[in-house]
Amino acid sequence: MSTISKALLSILFFVVLSSNLYADGAKWIQDFDLAKKLATKENKMILVNFTGSDWCPYCIKTESEIFSTDAFAKYVSDKFILLKIDFPRKKKLPRDISIQNERLATKYNVTGLPTFLILDSSGEILGVTGYVQGGAKAWISTCEDILKSLPKKTTLLRNQNFSEVAAKAKEENLPILLLVYDSKIKNSFDKIKAIGDKRVFSTLDGWKFIPFVADRAQLETNAKLSKIKPLLSSTSSGQYCMLLDSKSLDKSSAKTIEFSDADSFFNSLYKNLSWKYSGEWITDYYKAKAIAKAQHKAILLRFTGSDWCVWCKKMDKNIFSKEEFLKYAKKSLVLVDVDFPQNSKLSPAQTRQNDFLRKVFGVEGFPTIIVLNKDAKIVMMSNYYAGEPSIFIKEIDSRI
């Protein structure tokens, strides 16, 4: 066989292989707990399809136009675990799956079908959309827009230059988060990397600390950290982290946090970070969640049209600007302003976040006030409130 023939045969084989690679379509599972386990194991997100597979017209259209295509299967293969939450009318689901599906629809405030949620591996909502006209290409484009609006994941790297990290932390007046792994222990670095994969870490990185990753053995020989060597040698084997004052780098200000996984890491970290929040309105939802968790507070989301909505302005004047409310909020709430102005422009990132929150919480008019408890569950949802601040406060307090 000639060289040219062999080359043509190789190309043909590749084309056939590529065309058949996703021929069986995307594979959906029905178990939510399994989806979370697989997402954690494979470092993927979860795409949840709330559907009425045998009766809902737009659910059926989505299946035929988007989900059954090779383009969709190829796109999701390295990004998502696919979870189908079905509400059929012509067939009966296993009882445990049916109960699970009802519970998830309530948990995620799903009021219409189809609804598609993008979740992280813990089940937190990252994005939401519905039927998208235009086939797989348009749906993928919509999904990409959602993913681009998320906080970027922090990639934790080995072999960083400590002097450069320390200089940056000192310049920004932030502590250094020393993340230590033990190269002699299997999967020790993987546990460190899993922390950076959590999007909440990206929110904290550069806001509450500057991270530095190091192998335990290399760290103990670092001359720059000579002042904290007694602390380094006193920790148990495995991975741990330490918050260091970037100005002094001494043991008197160091806080050591040992952990076994990402959840235990964040639970301990929140207790050791400095949180300066005193009831002011903020616009970053992810930062608000971090503050609320650290300070054990509820979150109040104010969906408003600040420069055009008459009832929004009245509620601001009659409740939100009153000393009684501000005093209560300082003690019990983290306040998030979700604005949709008409006479001024928000940044593209802020606009994407606010649109996302509006979809997630099903907001249809302004003002809409939503209160989330300490577990980030909706406990109150109201529109314009005509009462006195004291009555409004009492209502919130009874829910949280």
Question: How far is 47 from 82, CA to CA, in rounded Å?
Answer: 5
In a domain, 358, yes or no: yes
Q: Please indicate, yes or no, whether residues 252 and 290 belong to a single structural domain of this protein.
A: no
Which tokens belong to 92?
């009966």
Q: Which of 239, 272, 305 is the last residue of a domain?
A: 272
Environment class of 186 (CB within 10 Å of its CB; exposed 0-12, middle 13-18, buried 19+): exposed
Q: Please indicate, yes or no, whether residues 170 and 286 belong to a single structural domain of this protein.
A: no
∠ CA(167), CA(172), CA(178), 5° rounding? 60
pLDDT at 145: 85
The domain total for the chain is 3
Which tokens belong to 377?
């569950």
In a domain, 370, yes or no: yes
Q: Record the pTM.
A: 0.74
Q: Please indicate, yes or no, whether residues 201 and 220 belong to a single structural domain of this protein.
A: yes
Q: What residues form DSSP beta bridges with 333? A: 298
Q: Please indicate, yes or no, whether residues 267 and 241 belong to a single structural domain of this protein.
A: yes
User: Which CATH number goes with the domain that contains 97?
Assistant: 3.40.30.10
In a domain, 304, yes or no: yes
Q: Please indicate, yes or no, whether residues 126 and 173 belong to a single structural domain of this protein.
A: no
Q: Which phi and psi (to 5°) does residue 279 adopt? A: 95, 5
Domain holding 116, by residue range, is 22-148
For 140-173, letters b (16+ CB in 10 Å) and e give: bebbeebeebbbeebebeeeeebeebbeebeeee
Q: Please indicate, yes or no, whether residues 50 and 140 belong to a single structural domain of this protein.
A: yes
In a domain, 14, yes or no: no
Radius of gyration of the chain (CA): 25
∠ CA(303), CA(124), CA(87), 5° rounding? 95
CA count, 13 A, side-chain hemisphere, 271? 8
Q: Please indicate, yes or no, whether residues 237 and 265 belong to a single structural domain of this protein.
A: yes
In a domain, 212, yes or no: yes
pLDDT at 233: 61
Q: Please indicate, yes or no, whether residues 181 and 293 belong to a single structural domain of this protein.
A: no
pLDDT at 232: 64
Q: Which of 92, 119, 148 is the last residue of a domain?
A: 148
Q: Please indicate, yes or no, whether residues 357 and 254 belong to a single structural domain of this protein.
A: no
Longest pairwise C-alpha distance within the chain:
89
Residues contacting 68, CB < 8 A, separation 6+: 25
In a domain, 51, yes or no: yes
pLDDT at 235: 62
Q: Please indicate, yes or no, whether residues 294 and 334 belong to a single structural domain of this protein.
A: yes
Note down pLDDT in tens along the chain; length 400 residues: 554 454 444 444 443 443 344 445 689 999 999 999 999 889 899 999 999 999 999 999 999 999 999 999 999 999 999 999 999 999 999 999 999 999 999 888 888 999 999 998 888 888 888 899 999 999 999 999 888 877 777 888 887 888 899 899 999 999 999 888 888 888 888 888 888 888 788 889 888 999 999 888 877 777 777 667 666 665 666 778 888 888 877 766 788 877 778 888 888 888 888 888 989 999 999 899 889 988 999 999 999 999 999 999 999 999 999 999 999 999 999 999 999 999 999 998 899 889 889 988 889 899 999 999 887 788 899 999 888 999 999 999 999 8
Cis amide linkage into residue 114, ω under 30° from 0: yes
Residues, the chain? 400
Q: Which of 91, 115, 148 is the last residue of a domain?
A: 148
